[in-house]
């Protein structure tokens, strides 16, 4: 029970840190990076699901640079391939598949569920 509470608190803190990082990125990129680093450390310690989001959107797999959309990475929509996240430091392109048929059918099912 204690661990469940700790994980809930950790999740909340990760959310707050990511929001703070996105807010302060326009003024101070190094501060934003430190917030993301802290969020990453919390996620690592408690081994929680938020880690996937952090890995996908806030960390380069090649140079381990912390990516903040619009400041240290560019996000593009690639035709038929998905979202492209390009690291501005090393130029690594990471593709996140969003045009997957499974995902599209799942969202269609969700919409049908909301409509009925
Ligand atoms: Zn990189």
Of the listed ranges 30-39, 41-50, 66-75, 102-111, the one predicted with least confidence: 102-111
How many A from CA of 105 to the centre of ligand 1?
Answer: 33
Residue 116 to residue 63: CA distance in whole angstroms: 47
Domain span at residue 50 reads: 2-115
How many A from CA of 102 to the centre of ligand 1?
Answer: 29
How many A from CA of 9 to the centre of ligand 1?
Answer: 30
Q: H-type helices in the chain, by residue range? A: 2-24, 29-46, 50-58, 101-115
- Domain count of the fold of the chain: 1
- Long-range contacts from 33-37, C-beta under 8 angstroms, 24+ separation: 33/66, 33/68, 33/72, 36/66, 36/68, 37/66
Q: What pLDDT, on the 0 to 100 scale, is given for residue 92?
A: 92
Q: Which residues contact 97 (CB under 8 A, 6 or more apart)?
A: 81, 82, 103
Q: What pLDDT, on the 0 to 100 scale, is given for residue 103?
A: 66
Q: For residue 39, which of 16, 73, 9, 72 has the smallest C-alpha distance?
A: 16
Tokens of 114: 């909301």
Residue 93 to residue 95: CA distance in whole angstroms: 6
Question: What pLDDT digit, counting tens, does each position of 53-83 carry?
Answer: 666 667 788 887 778 788 888 999 988 888 8
pLDDT of 36 > 60? The answer is yes
* % of the chain with per-residue pLDDT over 90: 8
How many A from CA of 92 to the centre of ligand 1?
Answer: 5
What's the distance, CA 94 to chain centroid? 13
The secondary structure of residue 67, as a DSSP letter, is P
Of the listed ranges 25-34, 37-46, 50-59, 98-107, the one predicted with least confidence: 50-59
pLDDT of 116 > 70? The answer is no
Q: What pLDDT, on the 0 to 100 scale, is given for residue 93?
A: 92
């Amino acid at each position: 029970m204690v661990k469940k509470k700790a994980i809930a608190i950790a999740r909340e803190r990760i959310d707050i840190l990511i929001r703070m990082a996105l807010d302060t990125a326009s003024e101070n990129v190094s501060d934003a990076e430190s917030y993301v680093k802290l969020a990453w450390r919390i996620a690592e310690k408690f081994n929680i699901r938020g880690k996937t989001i952090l890995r996908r959107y806030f960390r380069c797999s090649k140079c381990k640079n912390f990516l903040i959309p619009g400041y240290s990475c560019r996000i593009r929509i690639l035709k038929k391939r998905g979202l492209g996240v390009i690291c501005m430091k090393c130029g690594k392109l990471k593709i996140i598949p969003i045009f997957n048929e499974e995902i599209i059918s799942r969202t269609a099912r969700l919409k049908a569920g909301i409509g009925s």
